[in-house]
Amino acid sequence: MVEHRFVTPVKPGDVSKLKIGDIVYLSGKIFTARDFAHMKIIENGPIKGFDTKGLALYHCGPVVKKLGKKWNILSAGPTTSARMDALEPKVLETLGVKLIIGKGGMGHDTLKALKKNNAAYLTMTGGIGALATKMLGKVKDVYYLDELGPVEAIWVFEANSLGPLFVTMDSHGNSFYDFVESETKKNLDRILSVKFG
């Protein structure tokens, strides 16, 4: 297990260094995108006026409140990534992001897309929405707010050491979830093979 500290935009060589089990702390621009934002990106292409190459896409629907002219983020924990699984390969290709942050893992189509696009999936612990807001820092920008509403809009943050984030799918085609599934199956087979009586 190796600890990495990156500032976005992340260099391709840095992504290649990541292996499952590594820990990442991330600073710089990070943006949110959930189901409807993914669909909007697939429909419309890159986000106008926002260069996403080398950035981190965070599966998150923050709880926000406007105070005067500024947005106040009340909670910004990760949402379940599997919901975006069918959409992620196309979004990765379209936006050129290098890191996906979420919880719960993603499937084999996304794993193949991560390898093809030299990107990695990082897992954030669930239930830390209030703590995450401190590490994400201030809102820098927001896109599709009128069309999608505050939860589904694309929010841009200037993060400061967001983490620990655990590499659970790397750019070499390795998945922590496949490892856990394989080990679980081995243990189940071993248990079922025990003869009683």
Question: Does residue 62 form part of some domain?
Answer: yes
What's the mean pLDDT when you consider all of the chain?
91
pLDDT digits (tens, 9 = 90+) for 138-188: 899 999 999 999 999 999 999 999 999 999 999 999 998 766 565 566 656
pLDDT digits (tens, 9 = 90+) for 16-47: 999 999 999 999 999 999 999 999 999 999 99
Question: Does residue 93 form part of some domain?
Answer: yes
Question: Does residue 25 form part of some domain?
Answer: yes
Question: Does residue 38 form part of some domain?
Answer: yes
pLDDT score at 127: 82
pLDDT score at 125: 86
Pairing of strands 63-67, 120-123: unpaired
pLDDT score at 197: 61
pLDDT score at 180: 56
Mean pLDDT, rounded, for 84-99: 96
Q: How many structural domains are present in the chain?
A: 1
Question: Does residue 197 form part of some domain?
Answer: no
Residue 38 appears among annotated catalytic residues: yes
Amino acid letter, residue 103: K
Q: Which helix (H) or strand (E) holds 188?
A: helix 176-192
pLDDT score at 79: 93
User: Is 34 exposed, middle or buried, given 0-12, 13-18 or 19+ CB atoms closer than 10 A?
Assistant: buried
List the catalytic residue out of 38, 59, 108, 172: 38
Who wins on pLDDT, 62 or 196?
A: 62
CA pseudo-torsion sign 120, 124, 130, 131: negative
Q: How far apart are CA 47 and CA 66, in angstroms?
A: 23
State which residues form the domain around 109.
3-192
Q: How far apart are CA 120 and CA 174, in angstroms?
A: 10
Q: What is the CATH number of the domain that holds 110?
A: 3.20.130.10
Question: Does residue 126 form part of some domain?
Answer: yes
Is residue 68 over pLDDT 60? yes
* Residue 105, number of CB atoms within 10 A of its CB: 20
Question: Does residue 11 form part of some domain?
Answer: yes
pLDDT score at 67: 84
pLDDT score at 17: 96
Mean pLDDT, rounded, for 5-18: 96
Mean pLDDT, rounded, for 116-125: 96
Question: Does residue 129 form part of some domain?
Answer: yes
Instruction: Decide: 9 and 28 in contact? Cβ < 8 Å.
Output: yes
